[in-house]
Structure 1
Amino acid sequence: MKGAAHTEVYLDNNATTPVLPVAAEAAMHAMQRGYGNPSSSHATGIKAKAELETTRALARQLIGARSGDIVFTSGATEGIQASIVSALMAARAQSKTGAATLLLYGATEHKAVPESLKHWNRVLQLNATVKAIPVDQHGVLDSGFIREHLTAAVMICTMAANNETGVKQDLVALEQLIRSVNPQVYWMVDCVQALGKMSLNIADTSIDYAPFSGHKLYAPKGIGFLYVRKDTPYQPFIAGGGQESGLRSGTENLPGIAALHAIFSELAKTSGSAFQTEDTLWHYRQQLIAALRQVFPALVLNSDIPHVVPTTINFSVPGFYSKDIMDLFDAAGIRVSSGSACSSKVPSSFVLDAMGLDSWRSQGAIRLSFGPAMTKVECEHACQAIAALKAVVSKHCLVLTDATPTLEIHARGLLQLKHEALCSYVLICPDSLKALVIDPVLPLAGRIANIIQGHGLQLKAVLDTHLHQDHQSARTELLTLLGNPCAASGCDVLGWPEHSPEIQLGPYQLTRLATPGHTPEAVSILLYKQQQLLCAFTGDVILPGGVGRTDLPGGDISALANSIRLLAGKVGQHTLLLSSHDYAQRFFTSLALAATEQPLIQALLNNQPHTEWQPQLQQQAVTLQQASSYFCGLVEVSLSDATDVIAPAHLADFLQQWPQMQVVDVREPHEQSAGALAQYLPAAYLAQHSVQEIPLSKLADAVIHRQLHCEQPLLLVCRSGNRSLVACKVLGRLGFKQVFNLKGGTALLC
């Protein structure tokens, strides 16, 4: 079905690792030949029991645990639960409960730890106080905080190495501190990211609990083990048949344990092991960082020597959000992670936030992690794949270079750039090599400057539709970045050249229309091409799905009503209206859509008296004043969906059934250059059709210039299926009846 083969470079090993061939073979052998139940007394069961105990002995050897218990579990999360439940039940038995009792954990711990502490604290009714231990800018735990609070703690949870940053804690120094302050506190150390990457000598420590996970170290998912120090309280988390000496009931996962046996055997080898030496891993790290710097010269490491294990590289690039780099890398078949929490806004890494790093680093963080069994060939292949992206970021002006600028196909016409709910617009005339910016916002200033400088464009003007009350215009910053090509003097407060009724940009003409109400100085900017109206930039007068608020200083309900009516007299029913905010992922609207989605606007257009619509605006103002976040207008979120969702497995049949279907790639241009969509499509389709490339940033431009047709059936595709679904909704609102979305996007076609 696919075209050219797409080689995957997997660099997200902290999330999970591929299963090492020897481990897969061992697991298969256990399933097919060594399938006995270790609890059975016959020969087949005895063999299985021997496999289990040999693996347990190897685990002891590798972590340096001469005493204590090694309990096989389903993975780290189970081990964490068992540890926390055991410690908390012991504390409750000692009557150590109530708000004065503390449960401490590192602020950068995996969420499994604090969430488990909170859960079992509530379920077991300790009612203790769960408190995070701060870290410094390197991710190292605050020893002063520990010293101050540890006397009141019954449990402290720390990490050997962090899953996002690779930061390792000094367990020797921690132990000295912990045991000098509170010898009786129960201490759990998350060792998931440690085995195979740093030395562990559990026997030489007073660590009480140490969970490990198999799938972070080339074993299958569903297997792990927990170390419990001798004489440390332990409460079986799973009761039943008494397996694991009564510490964890349930028939043991022998295929998983056999895989662990194979992994442990490789780790124990003194030569010829699949696992690399620490010096080799540091060398790989240097090679990968060098390749990254070829693509992103301004790259900043968020964690580094001497505080890290070698296999984790956490970095940020000024001007890039993590999603930007994720999309670029994923299109090129390079798998990395952002390590960021999900959010309706720009995702941010809670780990980097806890380290106190700048927000741009937290919002732009990328985690590249390789495994300790990486080969030299794999490292070289990864470096080559990364370095190949230098040409892509140069072509699309993501990073400025000395290369001769060329105006690629998408860097022309109208670009709609977005930051959260904020919208900025760049209008580019390819013939005159001039550009104009409307409603610039600071987070996008660098991106806009790169586009203009990288393509050798002359900046004609930087305009605002109004003085924004939720953010400052980036006009001054943008002009500074570009060397003040158009002087700020001689312009009004919104950047419009004085004594100029219109601005000419090649075949484009821009005029303005006073539309106060949201703010007193607000204007709408009308864009014409060869005297034909293309669209209107309405600021916050009309939003996709709503209208601007009028309850702030300078706001005027009557003025807003008059402005909407005035605007309606200048534009057509289906002229695109482009706002400075998009709160519901609708990208743009029109008078016809606005009247349908907002009865208030219909009332205004019908010239109904103030008594009909003024109370509605006042009620909207009350709603907005009560909102937890600032909004420039009230927007009702639409739940409309695509016409249908197509499963990747049915793609070939679907395209055959719809011979007129047009496949549209809505990924951004740099993704399209890094990995063409055609390689994933059936050859039969490509013999008759070409893929239409319309990034979301050019969707408005495509609608304006009628590159898409309502009667044409469309299949929209992106990396994950999320952006293409948004585009389906946008086009559906415009009247496109046969718009389909590819579920899972290219990710499920790989």
Structure 2
Amino acid sequence: MTAIPLTPRLRPAEIYLDSNATTPVLPLAAVAAMQCMQQQFGNPSSSHATGIKAKATLEHARSLARQVTGAGEGRILFTSGATEGIQSSVVSAMLALREQGKTGPTVLLLYGATEHKAVPESLKHWNSVLQLNASIIAIPVDQHGQLDFAFIRQHAPAAGLICTMAANNETGVSQALKELEQCIRDANPNVYWLVDCVQALGKMSLNLATTTIDYAPFSGHKLYAPKGIGFLYVRASAPYQPFIIGGGQEGGLRSGTENLPGIAALGAVLAELQRKDGSVFQAEPLLWQYRAELLAALKQVFPELVLNSEPPYIVPTTINFSVPGFYSKDIMDLFDAAGIRISSGSACSSKIPSSFVLDAMGLPAWRSQGAIRLSFGPAMTATECHDACQAIKALTAVVNKHCLVVTDATPTLEIHASGLLQLKHEDSCSYLLIDSDSAQAVVIDPVAALLNRMVNIIQGRQLELVAILQTHQHAGEADHAAPLLRQMLHLTDENCDEFGWPVATPQLELGHYQLTRLATPGHCARAISIILQQHQQLLAAFVGDLILPGGIGRTDLADGDANQLQQSIQQLAQHIRPDTLILSSHDYAQRFATTLALAIQETELFARLLAGEPPAHWQQQLNVQTAVLQQASHYYCGLVEVAATDASKLIDKAELAELLLQQPRLQVIDVREPHEQTAGPLQAYLPASTGVLEVPLSKLCDALLRKQLHPAQPLLLVCRSGNRSLLACKVLRRFGFATVYNLSGGMAMLQ
């Protein structure tokens, strides 16, 4: 048999808008590197003709770096990049301070609170290693990201080293270097001063020789040169100790055979930057125009967009924004599905759920947790800007269709807008049950962080909200989510009890669904479980924190009662089957749901409790289990801890075509969210004959309820990066699915 080729069909074109993280290599730079590797490959330290030519290439690039930065008599040495430049500068300054006897906590090492993490981490590391034992203090910034001059004037007299940056990598905020220099030097003429210039090159005018900046690191891959090459400016009078010792290259300042292809490529970029006419680098007014066009496109998609940094405090090539009701990952997943590459901030801190830069600026948590960075390079063309704007504007239809924003457009009720939605925020779960035939909905256990999303779905789908239900309320703790949701939807809570249940309504009707309640105290004194049926057939039980996926609800809170908990679980067991899906209000272990059978299988404690063993025998063990379960919760930008063994097998791109041919019963499952599936259909990356079943993670429990997936059928799960699909593999295998493959690397590896 011949494998079916994975031929491209209607794939989205890639729009790259993450230039602050890295840039593509300019063609002229790639040519220079290739020519160097093939024709000028000599060692610059060799004395023969081939080495002399290589040396000439190196020194020409150094001369260009000197010209572009206005280095004057300052030293320019080539490095592997900005991080090395920062390290060597910090070490040099600290060694000089130690030789001067400036050690101990009275000596200050100051850095801007919004600096790239390479700066404070370097300060901490070398302060310890060199035993300087100085005090490391962050310089505050205001809401515009500008350094606090009053703080600098107060602390600079005791400072041995001050580290600032010319332009911020997340926000694009630039510092007024002349005013900053005057502030620093008026307070302390002798303090060493490091300025991170990585994001300044090609975007800001630099004339380092006319300043008292002691150290300025630069990185090639932020300006269209390859990764692994950079350079460092060192003022002629500044102390410098070689960070790497060996053969004495770079005048003894940085040993190791030079990365000549990288240097040649960087030289080509610097030469282009120097060109007066016909350069690929755009004039600043045009970059501001590009920014305005991109921002207008973004506002068409997200009318309520809020900028986190604005003129006149920024360079034109960075747009940092947040959208009310969205976390960074929501927007990143949407854009990535459409082939638009953006980021949530610094690529080096992509696992942090909020931006430390925006936190330092004192912006609200929702803006920090929802921050998106769109950045383009100074070589962007008018065509690239136009294509980017068109791709962004095309998302307007997607966000409207899936009610990510509320508009006056007539909603389209597609398959994902019916049945059960499990919406998650960190370890909390909310449920939205929708009956599409009657256009009615019920909310169960609303979470404050998810209210905007729920309101958008309910209003966007023009649903009638029948009830907002809660499974439990702790004594002395006021719940704000349910009342706030009622307020946002202009609903009253009249004729409802404390759980939001309509008074004198033993069974709640929702189209084809029926909901009944069962008193199940124990986790807290006031608690119920909600039994879900469809056409009088038992489907699921919403149990609050009575039973958790992977554990049992805690009873060590103020109104918890172990005896009542045991009785409630035993009573619940009489109303449901061993395989009935149990849905909880918390999911610490990222297991989505459980059943009685699974709980007995996974937790020996649960079996003992269900069998009637008195609480005195298991209460302490329950408290320990509770602590372990809560500690198992890890959240980094929506990522969860998964392992390759969570799937039956990891399938890479090379194996995919053969697998599709060998297993004709294989069902491909797209677990991305509906807006991602619309923005970038998986089908475009697969043979036309391959069927794709769309089961977003938010609908995974619904798929289990409707028996949409068959445990005996082989499944191949796919998401954007391979992480969420691997999590889904873990969940399904736990529920007894025999063969669950995962596409390693996700759709990103198919593009």
| TM above 0.5 | yes
Structure 2: distance between partners of 1:119 and 1:346: 21
Distance apart, 1:105 and its partner CA: 0.7
Counterpart in the other structure of 2:487:
480
In the other structure, the counterpart of 2:727 is 726
Q: Is 1:291–1:383's contact at 8 Å kept on the other side of the alignment?
A: yes
Which residue of the partner structure matches residue 450 of structure 1? 456
- 1:561 matched to 2:562? The reply is no
**CA, structure 1 residues 531+594, in 2 after alignment: closer, same or farther (shift >3 Å)?**
same
1:317 to 1:149, Cα distance in 2 relative to 1, 3 A = same
- Contact 1:441 / 1:472 at 8 angstroms: preserved in 2? no
Letter in 2 for 1:74: S
Cα offset for 1:629?
10
Contact kept in structure 2, 1:396 and 1:670, CA below 8 Å? yes
Kindly report which structure 2 residues correspond to 1:694-713, keeping only aligned pairs within 5 A, or say none: 694-713=695-714
User: Could you say if the C-alpha distance between residues 342 and 420 of structure 1 is closer, same or farther in structure 2, counting changes exceeding 3 Å?
Assistant: farther
Separation of aligned partners in 2, 1:568 and 1:629:
27
The verdict on how the C-alpha distance between 1:570 and 1:459 changes in structure 2, with shifts beyond 3 A counting, is: same
In structure 1, the partner of 2:596 is: 591
Q: Contact 2:588/2:629 (CA < 8 Å) preserved in 1?
A: no
State the SS of the aligned residue for 2:37.
helix
Q: Distance in 2 between matches of 1:711 and 1:622?
A: 36
Aligned equivalent of 2:439: 433
53-62 or 606-615: which moved more? Answer: 606-615
Task: Name the residue aligned to 1:401.
Answer: 407
Structure-to-structure mapping, 1:84-233, within 5 angstroms:
84-233=90-239
Paired AA for residue 487 in structure 2: T
Asked if the contact 2:474–2:526 (Cα under 8 Å) also holds between the matched residues in 1, the reply is no
Q: Is the 8 A contact 1:467 1:473 kept in 2?
A: no
CA 1:221–1:610 in 2, change beyond 3 Å: closer, same or farther? closer
Do the aligned residues in 2 keep the contact of 1:210 with 1:226 (CA within 8 Å)?
yes
In structure 1, give the amino acid aligned to 2:317: T
Residue of structure 1 in register with 2:397 after alignment: 391
Secondary structure of 1:522's aligned partner:
strand
- Return the alpha-carbon distance in structure 2 between the equivalents of residues 628 and 703 of structure 1: 24
Q: Give the alignment of 1:669-688 within 5 angstroms.
A: 669-681=674-686, 683=687, 686-687=688-689
The alignment status of 1:532 with 2:537, answered yes or no, reads yes
Q: 1:224 to 1:287 in 2, by over 3 A?
A: same
| Structure 2 Cα separation of the partners of residues 471 and 230 of structure 1 | 64
State the secondary structure of the residue aligned to 2:726.
Answer: helix
How do residues 272-351 of structure 1 correspond to structure 2 at under 5 angstroms? Answer: 272-339=278-345, 347-351=353-357
Alpha-carbon contact 1:515-1:523 (below 8 Å) kept:
yes
Q: Provide the C-alpha distance between the structure 1 equivalents of 2:336 and 2:266, rounded to a whole number of angstroms.
A: 31
1:364–1:619: structure 2 CA closer, same or farther, 3 Å change rule? closer
Rounded to whole Å, the distance in 1 between the matches of 2:727 and 2:557 is 32
Q: Secondary structure at the match of 2:264?
A: helix
| Post-superposition offset of 1:595 | 1.0
2:447 counterpart of 1:464: no
Following superposition, the deviation at residue 346 of structure 1 comes to: 7.8
Contact 1:345–1:420 at 8 Å: present in 2 too? no
Task: Check whether the contact 1:8–1:334 (CA below 8 A) recurs between aligned residues.
Answer: yes
Alignment of 1:608-647 (within 5 A): 608-620=613-625, 641-647=646-652
Which residue of structure 2 lines up, in the alignment, with residue 746 of structure 1? 747
Q: How many residues align?
A: 738
CA distance in 2, matches of 1:343, 1:46: 42
SS of the aligned residue for 2:257 comes to coil
Give, in angstroms, the shift of residue 3 of structure 1.
Answer: 3.1
Deviations 1:431-473 (CA, angstroms, capped at 9, x unpaired): 1111110000111111001000001111100000011588835
Shift of the alpha carbon at 1:653? 1.8
The separation in 1 between residues aligned to 2:625 and 2:750, in whole angstroms, is 45
Q: CA deviation at 1:609?
A: 3.2
Offset at residue 40 of structure 1 (A)? 1.6
Alignment match, 1:11: 17
Tell me how far 1:624 sits from its aligned partner.
Answer: 8.9
Q: Which amino acid aligns with 2:481?
A: A
1:600 CA drift (Å): 1.4
Check the 8 A contact 1:518/1:541 in 2, yes or no.
yes
The one-letter code matched in structure 1 to 2:490 is: G
1:651 maps onto 2:656 in alignment:
yes
Question: Which residue does 1:634 correspond to in 2?
Answer: none
**1:245 corresponds to which of 230, 251, 273:** 251
Tell me the amino acid that sits aligned with residue 653 of structure 1. E
Q: Distance between the aligned counterparts of 2:29 and 2:126, measured in 1?
A: 35
Cα distance in 1 for residues equivalent to 2:108 and 2:24: 39
State the Cα deviation string for residues 362-405 of structure 1 (Å, max 9, x = none): 00000000000000000000000000000000000001111112
Amino acid at match of 1:472: D
CA contact (8 A) 2:566 2:612 kept: no
Residue 341 of structure 1 contacts residue 347 of structure 1 at CA under 8 Å; is this kept in 2?
Answer: no
Q: Distance in 2 between matches of 1:18 and 1:94?
A: 44
> 2: CA distance between counterparts of 1:207 and 1:35?
35
Describe the shift of the 1:564–1:737 C-alpha distance in structure 2 as closer, same or farther (beyond 3 A).
same
Closer, same or farther: CA 490–340 of 1 in aligned 2, 3 Å: farther
**TM-score, structure 1 normalization:** 0.96
Deviations 1:16-50 (A, max 9, x none): 00000000001111011111211122222111111
Deviations 1:609-654 (A, max 9, x none): 33432342355578799x79999xxxxx997712111122221122
In 2, Cα distance between equivalents of 1:716 and 1:86:
52
CA contact (8 A) 1:167 1:309 kept: yes
Displacement of 1:176: 0.3
Aligned letter for 1:220? P
- Mapped to 2, the partners of 1:251 and 1:729 lie a distance apart of 48
Mapped partners of 2:562, 2:7: distance in 1: 57
Q: Is the CA contact 1:557–1:617 (under 8 Å) kept in the aligned structure 2?
A: no
SS in 1 for 2:255: coil
The 8 Å contact of residues 424 and 441 in structure 1, kept in 2 or not, is answered as yes
Q: Which residue does 2:79 correspond to in 1?
A: 73
Instruction: Determine the C-alpha separation between the residues in 1 that align with 2:628 and 2:422.
Output: 29
Aligned to 2:3: none
Instruction: Show the counterpart of 2:495.
Output: 490
* Cα distance between partner residues in 2 of 1:382 and 1:38: 42
State the shift of 1:151 in Å: 1.3
Instruction: Supply the AA of the counterpart residue of 1:482.
Output: L
- Give the unaligned 5+ runs of structure 2: 1-5, 636-640
* 1:679 Cα deviation after fit: 1.3
Q: Which residue of 2 aligns with 1:267?
A: 273
Pick which of 592-601 and 213-222 moved more.
Answer: 592-601
> Do 2:406 and 2:456's aligned partners in 1 also have CA atoms closer than 8 Å?
yes
Looking at structure 2, the residues matched to 647 and 622 of structure 1 have their Cα atoms a distance apart, in angstroms, of: 38
| Equivalence map 1:494-509=2 (5 Å) | 494-509=499-514
Instruction: Rate the CA distance shift 1:387–1:323 in 2: closer, same or farther, 3 A.
Output: same
Gaps of 5+ in 1: 632-636
Would you say the 8 A contact 1:314–1:367 is kept in 2? yes
8 A Cα contact 2:588 2:633, kept in partner? no
Equivalent residue of 1:512, what SS? Answer: strand
Offset at 1:65?
1.2
**Contact 2:141–2:148 (Cα < 8 Å) also in 1:** yes
Tell me, in whole angstroms, the C-alpha distance in 2 between the residues paired with 1:58 and 1:7.
36
Residues 467 and 609 of structure 1: CA distance in aligned 2, closer, same or farther (over 3 Å): closer
Distance 1:88 1:343, change over 3 A: closer
State the Cα distance separating 1:2 from its structure 2 match: 3.4
AA aligned to 1:422 is S
**C-alpha distance in 2 between matches for 1:346 and 1:579:** 27
Percent of aligned positions with the same letter in both sequences?
67
Deviation at 1:583, TM superposition (A): 0.5
